[in-house]
Amino acid sequence: MAYDKFTILRSSAVPMPIENVDTDQIIPARFLKATERKGFGDNLFRDWRYETDGTPKKDFVLNNPIYSGKILVGGKNFGSGSSREHAAWAIYDYGFRCVVSSFFADIFKNNSLNVGILPVQVSPEFLDKIFTAIEADPKAELEVNLEAQTITIPATGESESFAINSYKKLNMMNGYDDIDYLQAMKDDIKLFADKSLY
Amino acid sequence: MSNKPATLFDKVWDSHVVRKIEDGPDVFFIDRHFIHEVTSPVAFLGMEGRGLKVMFPEKTFATADHNTPTINQHLPVQDPLSANQLKALETNSNKYGISHWGLGNPKNGIVHVVGPENGITLPGMTIVCGDSHTSTHGAFGAIAFGIGTSEVEMVLSSQCIMQPKPKKMRINVTGKLGKGITPKDVTLYIISRLTAAGATGYFVEYAGEVFENMSMEGRMTVCNMSIEMGARGGIIAPDETTFNYIKGREKAPKGEAWDKALAYWKTLATDEGAVFDAEFTYDAADIEPMITYGTNPGMGMGITKHIPSALAGDSKSSYEKSLQYMGFHEEEAMLGKKVDYVFIGSCTNGRIEDFRAFASIVKGRKKADHVTAWIVPGSHIVEQQIKDEGILDILTEAGFQLRQPGCSACLAMNDDKVPAGKYAVSTSNRNFEGRQGPGSRTMLASPLVAAAAAVTGVVTDPRELIA
């Protein structure tokens, strides 16, 4: 599925300084029953966000109107656990385009890149600076520049670079995905398969 | 090609790279692809939206497991959304000629149980599924890992995915396991030492005496849990134990094909002198029956110990949030804590050896009155073994009921949900908040610890109940 091109994103951010946020929290299993990719944003962080009767939990950050924006900032080991891509869909569908953390689980990182969310891994120190900046001003913006591979806190001018391989970077900047690439090399794959033991 | 010493992982990975992309992922060929009802429907939709077809339908195998009820499987599925997903799996499989073991099929069961037990999983293969516990199949010396739905679409339409090669870690466990110490304890011990993120970015080879002496089912339990310390997968070199397990299974190679395969499989070991990016060694004598006390699988400890006051690497606030959710406190003992639910099953501990272990403790005892127990075989084949071996009689005599195969309370997508605030001792793989139902509190453990809890109604050291 194609997604929006990602170049420069400047936005306020939603802080979630919790470690080991697993994909069962991002979207609980009972909301994985759809056969189409739509509406997952409504159940993003469902059990942290709502009481069992559906009323919003006041102390959860997504229910706090002070915070908004297209960037979600999480604690270390974000996206651990289940491989459900629904977690990335829910984050995208809610309106986030970038997740910042000091450490991402592997499958979540892959899934994010495949659906058009940029995972930006920063140092633990820079993550603290981001949380501090948002604490000082909930509307504080972050600027993520994919081409330059930098994330900046404009209010303080502090900046850090982040890693992404050049193949994925180009995909994100152009809104391409891996399926386009693989379809273009099917003849090679066919030859490879012919020699395969299994 | 250089003749540099290579790891088992290198040998299997490198032989499946169709193309290397500079400063990018490898185009990685997949030998076996398992699909289930939850993570495949959007992949089929996406593929069809692009006008693509399944490239090699004979390399994909479908089974229904995540969403299936574990009672009255002969009746129509009550939940319309679940029924719709199960129907979509059947329709998509039939449309493209994919083997489909749906509800009611005698081969049906949890994807990571039925793959190995039918000889679909073989050494040296690359295996993926839209499920993180695909790491299970690494027990056979295969590279097996979980993928997202976009990647399921890639495999369906091109038999490849695009993956950066992970780093390599080796974990050695030396010595011999004591009485009542199971493969589940070994893996929970390792994860407690490395933490829930300690192997992120790595693929883990398990080596040493403990794994060499372990059964295939035990090795599957260990590889299954690799993802719980962040590793993409785990792998164990195939040996006579592996070959004996595979031989004669329905889809395993036969005759000349067997001989040829066996010769190849015997080359699948890490060369002397091969280099790993990280290596850890543990002593089996340090491992006791394990139980988790928190909300990630790294928060585990020996059952006779006290809850620690902090977890290395995690902030105090995250640690406290976790204990608060569980209703536990630092420095408390776990022994004697009341247990409301017991679940034995899942792709981690849903095989016949797990039920034998459970029955060994339950035999001659009675289920504690206040405990609700869900005994859920990993497949119909396991269910039949439970009946044939007389385990069902032992369970019935003790007041337990056997349910029908499926993922069940491991992720609580069906009706098998632990109510809010209740405590479950579970042989499954995740103790995340709400994993077994909103508000549920999970303690992960082995089938022996689960059995001890089921008959005493409290957290109990199973070694006290072993004759």
Q: A4 falls in which pLDDT band (50, 70, 90)? A: confident
- Per-residue confidence (pLDDT) for residue B311, from 0 to 100: 77
Q: How far apart are the first and last CA of chain B?
A: 56
- Per-residue confidence (pLDDT) for residue B2, from 0 to 100: 57
Helix orientation angle between B149-158 and A106-115, rounded to the nearest 10 degrees: 70
B196/B47 Cα distance (integer angstroms) = 34
SS3 of residue A142 by DSSP: strand
pLDDT exceeds 80 at position B99? yes
pLDDT exceeds 60 at position B1? no
pLDDT exceeds 60 at position B260? yes
pLDDT in tens, B378-404: 999 999 999 999 999 999 999 999 999
pLDDT (average), residues B324-352? 98
B312 close contact with A: CB closer than 8 A: no
Beta carbons of A149 and A173 less than 8 angstroms apart: no
pLDDT exceeds 60 at position B276? yes
Beta carbons of B159 and A181 less than 8 angstroms apart: no
Q: How far apart are the first and last CA of chain A?
A: 30
- The minimum CA-CA distance between A125 and chain B, rounded to whole Å, is 14
- So what's the ipTM on this one? 0.96
Nearest to B148 among A29, A85, A192 (CB): A85
pLDDT in tens, B10-53: 999 999 999 999 999 999 999 999 999 999 999 999 999 999 99
pLDDT in tens, A121-179: 999 999 999 999 999 999 999 999 999 999 999 999 999 999 999 999 999 999 999 99
The secondary structure of chain B, three-state, reads CCCCCCCHHHHHHHCCEEEECCCCCEEEECCEEEECCCCCHHHHHHHHHCCCCCCCHHHEEEECCCCCCCCCCCCCCCCHHHHHHHHHHHHHHHHHCCEEECCCCCCCECHHHHHHHCCCCCCCCEEEECCHHHHHHHHHCCEEEECCHHHHHHHHHHCEEEECCCEEEEEEEECCCCCCCCHHHHHHHHHHHHCCCCCCCEEEEEECHHHHCCCHHHHHHHHHHHHHHCCCEEECCCCHHHHHHHCCCCCCCCHHHHHHHHHHHCCCCCCCCCCCCEEEEEEHHHCCCEEECCCCCCCEEECCCECCCCCCCCCHHHHHHHHHHHCCCCCCECCCCECCEEEECHHHHCCHHHHHHHHHHHCCCCCCCCCEEEECCCEHHHHHHHHHCCHHHHHHHCCCCECCCCCHHHCCCCCCCCCCCCEEEECCCCCCCCCCCCCCEEEECCHHHHHHHHHHCECCCHHHCCC
Residues in chain B closer than 8 A to A104 (CB atoms): 200
Evaluate if pTM is beyond 0.95.
yes
B148/B153 Cα distance (integer angstroms) = 9
C-beta atoms of A25 and B81 within 8 A: no
B148/B162 Cα distance (integer angstroms) = 12
Report the residue of chain A nearest B198, measured CA to CA. Answer: A77
C-beta atoms of B32 and A198 within 8 A: yes
Q: B82 falls in which pLDDT band (50, 70, 90)? A: very high
- The minimum CA-CA distance between B334 and chain A, rounded to whole Å, is 23
C-beta atoms of B230 and A178 within 8 A: no
Q: Which two tokens stand for residue B362?
A: 């339950």
